[in-house]
Amino acid sequence: MRTNAFEVASRYVYPSLRRRLVEILREKGLKQVEIAELLHITQSAVSRYLGMDRGALVDVSRYPDIDGELRSLVEEVIERKPDEYYIHRRLVEISLEMLGKGYVCSFHSKIDPEVNPEECRVCLELFG
């Protein structure tokens, strides 16, 4: 295994979760500048997420439970306007949840052919 689970989470899953947050905020009618302020990121980053130039490799919207958690987080962000550390913590928690449920296994095996999802139980046992 050349690419470990934490690398997959930080390089692919986390950015994809953030991209989905941006998409959901956009669906609510917010402008890029407003989204950037709420998420404590640059307007340029928002633009790259929306343009699928960042965080586009894992489609987290295909997991209804994860998408539901992100939608709940969006409501919190809009209502409470939490600091960047709270948002980061929640995204890390959701990333670990995705690992623990095995949602990332097939993607991991695509980027690292040495990973055999049938044999590897690292994430399921650690985070499941």
57-83 pLDDT tens trace: 999 999 999 999 999 999 999 999 999
Backbone angles phi, psi at 113, to 5 degrees: -60, -15
Averaged pLDDT of the chain = 95
* pTM for this predicted structure: 0.94
Cβ contacts of residue 103 below 8 Å, gap of 6+?
63, 66
- Residues 121-126: what's their mean pLDDT? 91
C-alpha to C-alpha distance for 67 and 3, rounded to whole angstroms: 26
- Would the pLDDT of 2 be above 90? no
Phi/psi for 82 (5° steps) reads -65, 165
- The answer to whether the CB of 97 falls within 8 A of the CB of 127 is yes
User: Residue 128 pLDDT more than 90?
Assistant: no
Per-residue model confidence as pLDDT tens digits over 8-50: 999 999 999 999 999 999 999 999 999 999 999 999 999 999 9
Take residue 48 and report the two structure tokens written for it: 């790259």
